[in-house]
Amino acid sequence: MANTVNPPRGMRDFLPADKARREHALGVIRAGYAAQGFDEIETPVMEDASRLHSGLGGDNEKLAFGILRRGLSADAVAELAAVGDLEGLTDLGLRFDLTVPLARFYASHRAALPNVFKSIQIAPVWRAERPQKGRYRQFVQCDIDIIGEPGAIAEIELITATIATLDALGLTGCAIRINHRAILRSLIASWGVAEADYERAMITIDKEDKIGVEGVVAELVDLGLVDDSASQTVAESLSGLPDDGWNLDRGVVPPPAWLDTDAYRQLHEIRDAVAAVAPGTPLVFSHNLVRGMGYYTGAIFEIQHPELGYSLGGGGRYDGMIGRFLGTDVPAVGFSLGFERIVDLITVPEDRQTDGIVLVYDRDVEPATLLRIKTQLVGSGARVRLERRVKNLKPLLERLADAGYTRFAPVMSDTRQVSDLQFRDLA
């Protein structure tokens, strides 16, 4: 029996039609973000292991692929592995996201960049995930970030640029869920949770949509983050929120005592500005939106599709990250599209497909004639493929139609120029 030859687990090959759809989506995303005033950069696929494991990447740091130090002998590798000395084994790692490399990039090139830097990064990242449907070990991220702007204008610009790009991709009907880390922290503090346990409590709150308020309360108690005596308070503060979370401080209901009103007003500012620019896309205040990364410090947001149970992207403000590399804090906020999820939802519009022509030639056609005709067609804007005539053309033409070609024409020994061709549809 022949061995099955597949790519490594969690990684994929892409057939021509799949690759064409991906490149179309990437082209739309790049053009959309560039039109909004963002500039594309590129960073190495590897970063120093110490930066990738600096505590900025949350749980994703545990999924980083490490690269063995050069020059280590087999005995040295075995000895270091036996004592669990990962720092001794590796000095580099594959990036697990694009935000940590961007922070390092900005710290490296700050003098050459404008005071407010708006970047695009579109590139593959790697995580040692357990492969399953929708989870891969190599995947593409599409990020836009604004560094150096402390005001809410940065969040507003990122959200509106992302909405415009989703519209250009044909993904309509999406909503943006939004929350603020300061609101989450004030909510958790009202339950008596120790500050050191805030991040763990947030992970539990993030499950509310799946396990409900009672499930959140039970898990917080099981983890020892809140006492049984506080469980009623937790349940009331989560379930007592109105359906329209935007009314918490507008006199419709009394504002909760735990609400961070400054952060809440900032979310209103973002919502009102986005509504003025993109009135068809609602911003939904979600008290249980957490976003997993530990580096978020302010507003956080996520794309919600009406027919899907998972997000199509998200981001937020991470003012403390660049200071780890630069020694001085720099405000920063970013938005990342879930490219692998988005690309499965789109189709390439017919009016954006290049005219694809297949020239089926006989064996006795002169190569110079064949290439001259092909060159003329390519010069007119067509995509042209040469195929030698075979006995049964049907399977060949069906495969080429699936690859996006739309017409074919026989080229015979007496064909001399494009006007001699007789085109037929491949449909």
- Phi, psi angles (nearest 5°) of residue 143: -115, 140
Q: What is the pLDDT of residues 254-291, one digit of tens each?
A: 677 888 889 999 999 999 999 998 888 889 898 888 88
Q: Tokens standing for 294?
A: 């530990």
**Sequence ranges of the chain with CATH classification 3.40.50.800:** 354-425
The CATH homologous superfamily for domain 16-43+95-343 is Bira Bifunctional Protein; Domain 2 (3.30.930.10)
Q: Which of 385, 327, 346 is nearest to 168 (CA)?
A: 346
Sole residue written with tokens 């209901």: 253
**Sequence ranges of the chain with CATH classification 3.30.930.10:** 16-43+95-343
What does the pLDDT read at residue 1?
47
For domain 354-425, the CATH class is: alpha beta
DSSP structural state of residue 309: S
Q: Which of 304, 327, 303 is nearest to 315 (CA)?
A: 303
Beta strand 117-126 with 39-40 is parallel
Contact 316, 301 (CB under 8 A): yes
Tell the burial category of 383 from Cβ atoms under 10 Å away from its Cβ (0-12, 13-18, 19+).
middle
Contact 255, 249 (CB under 8 A): yes
Q: Which of 177, 146, 185 is nearest to 301 (CA)?
A: 177
Q: What is the pLDDT of residues 228-262, one digit of tens each?
A: 887 888 888 887 666 566 766 555 556 778 888 89
pTM as predicted? 0.85
What does the pLDDT read at residue 59?
67
Give pLDDT tens digits along the chain (427 positions). 456 788 888 899 998 888 988 999 999 999 999 999 999 999 999 988 888 877 666 667 778 888 777 767 677 667 666 766 666 677 888 999 999 899 999 999 999 999 999 999 999 999 988 877 767 899 999 999 999 999 999 999 999 999 999 999 999 889 999 999 999 999 999 898 999 898 889 989 888 888 988 898 898 988 989 888 878 888 888 876 665 667 665 555 567 788 888 999 999 999 999 999 888 888 989 888 888 777 889 999 999 988 887 889 999 999 988 888 888 889 999 999 999 999 988 877 665 556 789 999 988 888 998 999 999 998 888 889 999 988 888 888 888 888 778 899 999 988 888 999 999 998 6
What does the pLDDT read at residue 56?
63
Beta strand 356-361 with 383-388 is parallel
What is the spatial distance between Cα 321 and Cα 105, in angstroms, rounded to a whole number? 12
DSSP structural state of residue 351: G
